[in-house]
Structures are given as C-alpha cells and as structure tokens.
C-alpha cells in the first residue's frame, strides 16, 4: 500500500512542478504562495522516492532507545480453548503484560508495556514478545509478510522474544481462524522385515521458516530424566531452584548463545533458553513448555522478564 501512495505522491509532484514552471515564467500569484508550492513539491518528491520514510524510520529507532517500550503481541483472542492460537503455553498476552508491569514497578524500572498486533509499526518497541509459543500470527501465509517483518525488526536492533516451544512452527491464518503447519512436509522411507518400503511423512524443525532463517538445530531430549534440574547462570539467578522437565533443546553452535548453563547429549552441548543474534538485534528463545501440569510457569516467566529488562538497560 505504501508503494501506491508513493507513486501517487510522485505523480502529484510532477503535476505541481509543471504548474510551478509556468508560474515562474509569468507569476500571477504572490512569491510566498510559489514558495509554499515549491515546498509541497519537494516534500512529495522526498516521500515518493522513499527518503521521507527512511528519515521517519531512523527517527523512530532513536526515540525507542530513549523511551523503552515492550510490545506484547495480542492479535488473537484468548479464551478457554486456545488450541488453534497457541502451542505449549497457557499464559495469555494480558497475563504477560501484567507480570512484566508488576516486575518493573517493584524494581523501579522505567519501561512501558503495551498490547500490540502485527499491523502496528514495530519501530517503536525496544522488545516484542510473542506469547503464543509455537504459533505466531501471520498476515500472509503466501508471502510470509509477518515473518519478514519480525526479522526486519530484529535486524534493525530489536529484541524478539518467543516464550515457548519451536518458534514459528505453526502460523495462524486470520481468514481461516486456525493455525496451519508453517513447516514443510517431507517424506522418508521405512523398510519392514519383509523388505516392504513405506513412505513416512515428517516435518523437521530445521525446515520451519523461522528456524531456517536463524540456522538453528533443535532436538527432542532423548532422556528427560537427565534434564529435570537445570542450573541457571548466576547473573540471571532467581529465588528458587528450578526443577523442570525439558522436552526440546537447541544445539549450542556459533549462532546460539546459552542463557543458562548448557548440558550435554551425546557429548553435544544443548540448552533450552538462548539468544540468537540477527543483524543488529537478537532473538530470545525459550523452548520450555508451559502448562497446567508443569510447575514451571512462574519461575521461567520471572527469568524471561529479568532477561528482557536487563537487556534493555545494558
């Protein structure tokens, strides 16, 4: 839509310049009026070629460095049955907003928190939190408009927080009002003892567009008993010792910065909470599952809030 407006601006600017040319040869109007028309023409040209948009974008980025605002995505209605809008989390956008506000008030931190949606301009927000876990709201499944908007936001220095599970594994379609697999399906083969081959469908985490863009490798934990007591780094210490069952972990590589002390699976370091840098910004990703049967909600929420607020004032 912006390209249409910019095109119209250039058309109007061209017409105005043509009129100004005739007025300058034989001006029937006052000099101040001609000056005003020249200014309007310059503004239209700057907007049409995109210069004004670039200046406005840079100005918003400067403002957000001084006025810290956290945006919590709230595109989808939260109710008693959220199977279509979320995955592996039972904490609503409003609950996240309230938890962050409670923490910043208690600690005297000057941060604002707003409920936003994917149509809003992300430039104003120092951090954006996706509370839907493995689901994210996608305005265009064909063009991945929201996904690209998120990555452009982080590239420009933003912090995007995914609170649970594989980020972007599901994409919510607002037209269908349901979530769809964002991860492409592939087929592998399985041979039985009689030599018969069966094609088996699978969706690999590495092929999820979100994961593919970040080059992340995630695995299901092979033995959850090994991950029932994960120790936290002292810089992000919390008041109680976490004893959590971790179902999925990221392999620690160059693009993965662990936030809590990694453990090993088959001599490979893995972690369930980590940073992944992208451009001038970073993603904060937690793979830990929330839910009524998992007594991890409050300590992990507290940890993520501490990380976000500390990051904004580094």
Name residue 188's beta-bridge partners: 200
Q: Tokens 């941060």 map to which residue? A: 111
- Looking at residue 239, its pLDDT comes to 46
The secondary structure of residue 87, as a DSSP letter, is B
Return the H-helix or E-strand segment holding 214: helix 209-214
Domain limits of the chain?
2-49, 55-312
Which tops the pLDDT comparison, 194 or 270? Answer: 270
Q: CA 143: distance to chain centroid?
A: 16
Residue 72 token pair = 């919590």
Task: State pLDDT tens for residues 135-152.
Answer: 999 988 888 999 999 999
> In the predicted model, is pLDDT for residue 154 greater than 70?
yes
pLDDT of residue 226 exceeding 60: no
Residue of higher predicted confidence among 97 and 261: 97
Query: What pLDDT score does 265 carry?
Result: 79
303-313: pLDDT as tens digits: 889 889 988 87
Tell me which of 1.10.287, 1.10.260, 1.10.3470, 3.40.50 is the CATH number of domain 55-312: 3.40.50
Quote the CA–CA distance of 45 and 217 in Å, as a whole number.
47
Instruction: Give the span between the Cα atoms of 314 and 310, in whole angstroms.
Output: 6
Euclidean distance between CA atoms 307 and 285, whole angstroms = 11
């Amino acid at each position: 839509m912006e390209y249409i407006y910019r095109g119209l601006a250039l058309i109007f600017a061209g017409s105005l310049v043509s009129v100004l040319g005739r007025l300058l040869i034989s001006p029937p109007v006052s000099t101040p009026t001609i000056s005003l028309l020249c200014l309007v023409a310059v503004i239209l040209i700057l907007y049409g070629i995109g210069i004004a948009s670039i200046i406005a974008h840079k100005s918003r980025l400067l403002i957000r460095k001084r006025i810290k605002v956290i945006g919590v995505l709230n595109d989808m209605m939260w109710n008693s049955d959220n199977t279509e809008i979320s995955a592996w989390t039972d904490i609503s956008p409003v609950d996240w907003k309230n938890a962050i506000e409670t923490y910043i008030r208690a600690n005297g931190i000057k941060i604002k928190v707003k409920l936003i949606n994917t149509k809003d301009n992300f430039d104003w927000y120092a951090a954006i939190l996706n509370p839907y876990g493995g689901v994210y709201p996608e305005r265009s499944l064909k063009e991945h408009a929201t996904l690209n908007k998120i990555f452009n936001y982080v590239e420009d220095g933003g912090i995007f927080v995914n609170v649970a599970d594989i980020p972007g594994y599901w994409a919510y379609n607002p037209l269908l009002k349901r979530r769809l697999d964002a991860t492409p399906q592939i087929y592998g083969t399985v041979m039985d003892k009689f030599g018969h081959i069966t094609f088996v469908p699978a969706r690999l985490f590495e092929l999820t567009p979100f994961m593919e863009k970040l080059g992340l490798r995630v695995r299901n934990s092979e033995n959850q008993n090994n991950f029932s007591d994960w120790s936290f780094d002292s810089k992000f210490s919390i008041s109680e010792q976490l004893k959590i069952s971790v179902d999925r972990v990221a392999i620690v590589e160059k693009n993965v910065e662990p936030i809590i002390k990694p453990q090993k699976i088959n001599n490979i370091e893995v972690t369930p909470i980590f940073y992944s840098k992208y451009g001038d910004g970073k993603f904060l990703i937690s793979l830990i599952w929330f839910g009524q049967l998992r007594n991890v909600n409050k300590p992990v929420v507290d940890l993520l809030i501490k990380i976000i607020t500390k990051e904004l004032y580094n």
